[in-house]
C-alpha cells in the first residue's frame, strides 16, 4: 500500500509513475508531476505531451516515444505495458507521461492492470484533463448557474466508424457536452445532436491545441461549426464544446495565444 508523500519525497527505483501532464501549457503541471519529471530515469510519452514538458526531463533520462494516432497505432498497447514492466524490473524510476489526466480517455486503467498482475509498484498522478484546461483558456465556463447544471465528457472517436453514443443523455437541456477526439467526425457529431433534439442554433466551439501558444478557437452553432472549422483549416488535437455556455466566451475570453504564456523552460527547470 502506498502512502501519500511529502513535497520532497524521492521517486522510488523500480516504480512506474503514471503521470498526467495536462493539456499542453507546462504551467499546468501539478507540483507532483513536476517533481517526478525532475527525477525520471525513463519516460515513455505520447504524441500529445508537449515539447516544453519533455524539455523538463533530466538530460540523462531515456525518452521512449510510444504515441498513437487515431487508427494508426505506433506502438501497441501490450508493447507499452511490457515496456513499463521491463524498465521497472531494471530498477528504473519510470514515468509514463500522458496528456491531460491518465484516467480520462487515457487507457491508464489498462496499463495499471498489467503492472498489478506483474507485481510492479506504481502511482497515478492526476493531471488537468483537456476539457478543464481548454475550456478555461478558451473563456468557456463548463457549468454556469444560468446555463448548465451538468457537463458530460464523451469520446467522438467512434468504434468501427459507427456513432455509438447515448444521444438521449447528450441532448438534455442545461448541460454542456465536451467531445474528445471528435475532429474527424465533427459534421456527423453535430448532425446527430440535432437529429436527436438539440437546436441547430445551439452554440458550439472547437478548440485546437488549447492552452498552448498555437491555440485556435472557432465558435458557431451546431449547424455552422463544421463548415467554419473546415474554413479555418483546423487540425487535431481539438476539443469540441457544445452548450449555451459557449456564448459566454464573447465576454470572458482572456488568453492571448501566440504570446509567451509560459516562462522560459530554464526558469521552470530551476524550480524542479
Ligand atoms: N487523457 C487526455 C485525453 C487523451 S484523448 C486528457 O485527459 O485530456 C486525446 C484527445 O484529448 C484529443 O483528441 C483532443 O480531443 C483532446 N485534447 C488533449 N489535449 C488537447 C488540447 N491541448 N487542445 C484540444 N484538445 C486536446
- pLDDT single digits (tens) 218-238: 999 999 999 999 999 999 999
Task: Give the model's pLDDT for residue 272.
Answer: 41
Instruction: Find out whether the beta carbon of 215 lies less than 6 Å from any atom of ligand 1.
Output: no
Task: Give the model's pLDDT for residue 262.
Answer: 52
Task: Give the model's pLDDT for residue 3.
Answer: 62
Residues 163 and 181 in one domain: yes
- Let me know if residue 10 belongs to a domain: no
Residues 114 and 157 in one domain: no
Task: Give the model's pLDDT for residue 263.
Answer: 54
Instruction: Find out whether the beta carbon of 99 lies less than 6 Å from any atom of ligand 1.
Output: yes
- Please give the residue range of the domain that contains residue 142: 131-252
Instruction: Find out whether the beta carbon of 154 lies less than 6 Å from any atom of ligand 1.
Output: no
Find the DSSP H helices in 75-165.
77-89, 108-117, 130-138
CA of 239 to the centre of ligand 1 (A): 7
Residue pair 46/98 in contact (Cβ under 8 Å)? The answer is yes
Number of structural domains found in the chain? 2
CA of 223 to the centre of ligand 1 (A): 23
Residues serving a catalytic function are 46, 68
Instruction: Find out whether the beta carbon of 238 lies less than 6 Å from any atom of ligand 1.
Output: yes
Task: Give the model's pLDDT for residue 2.
Answer: 64
Task: Give the model's pLDDT for residue 258.
Answer: 83
Nearest CA to ligand 1 atom 13: 181
pTM comes to 0.91
Name 204's bridge partners: 220, 242
Q: Which residues of the chain have pLDDT under 70?
A: 1-8, 68-74, 159, 161, 259-272
- Let me know if residue 159 belongs to a domain: yes
Q: What is the CATH number of the domain that holds 143?
A: 3.30.950.10
CA 191 to each of CA 85, 139, 188, 202, 222: distance values in angstroms, whole numbers, following the listed order: 44, 25, 5, 12, 7
Residues 122 and 138 in one domain: no
Q: What is the CATH number of the domain that holds 20?
A: 3.40.1010.10
CA of 119 to the centre of ligand 1 (A): 30
Task: Give the model's pLDDT for residue 5.
Answer: 61
Task: Give the model's pLDDT for residue 235.
Answer: 95
Amino acid at each position: 500500500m502506498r502512502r501519500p508523500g511529502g513535497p520532497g519525497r524521492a521517486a522510488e527505483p523500480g516504480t512506474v509513475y503514471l503521470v498526467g501532464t495536462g493539456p499542453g501549457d507546462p504551467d499546468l503541471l501539478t507540483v507532483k508531476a513536476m517533481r517526478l519529471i525532475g527525477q525520471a530515469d525513463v519516460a515513455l510519452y505520447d504524441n500529445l505531451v508537449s515539447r516544453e514538458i519533455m524539455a523538463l526531463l533530466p538530460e540523462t533520462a531515456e525518452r521512449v516515444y510510444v504515441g498513437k494516432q487515431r487508427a494508426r497505432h505506433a506502438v501497441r498497447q501490450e508493447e507499452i505495458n511490457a515496456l513499463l514492466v521491463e524498465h521497472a524490473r531494471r530498477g528504473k524510476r519510470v514515468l509514463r507521461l500522458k496528456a491531460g489526466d491518465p484516467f480520462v480517455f487515457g487507457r491508464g486503467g489498462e496499463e495499471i492492470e498489467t503492472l498489478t498482475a506483474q507485481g510492479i509498484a506504481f502511482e497515478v498522478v492526476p493531471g488537468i484533463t483537456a476539457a478543464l484546461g481548454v475550456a478555461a483558456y478558451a473563456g468557456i465556463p463548463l457549468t454556469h448557474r444560468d446555463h448548465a447544471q451538468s457537463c458530460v465528457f464523451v469520446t467522438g472517436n467512434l468504434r468501427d466508424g459507427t456513432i455509438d453514443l447515448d444521444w438521449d443523455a447528450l441532448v438534455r437541456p442545461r448541460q454542456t457536452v465536451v467531445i474528445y477526439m471528435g475532429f474527424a467526425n465533427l459534421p456527423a457529431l453535430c448532425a446527430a445532436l440535432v437529429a436527436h433534439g438539440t437546436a441547430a442554433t445551439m452554440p458550439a466551439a472547437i478548440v485546437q491545441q488549447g492552452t498552448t501558444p498555437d491555440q485556435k478557437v472557432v465558435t458557431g452553432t451546431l449547424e455552422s461549426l463544421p463548415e467554419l472549422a473546415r474554413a479555418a483549416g483546423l487540425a487535431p488535437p481539438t476539443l469540441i464544446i457544445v452548450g449555451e455556455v459557449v456564448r459566454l466566451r464573447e465576454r470572458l475570453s482572456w488568453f492571448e495565444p501566440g504570446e509567451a504564456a509560459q516562462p522560459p523552460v530554464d526558469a521552470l527547470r530551476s524550480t524542479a
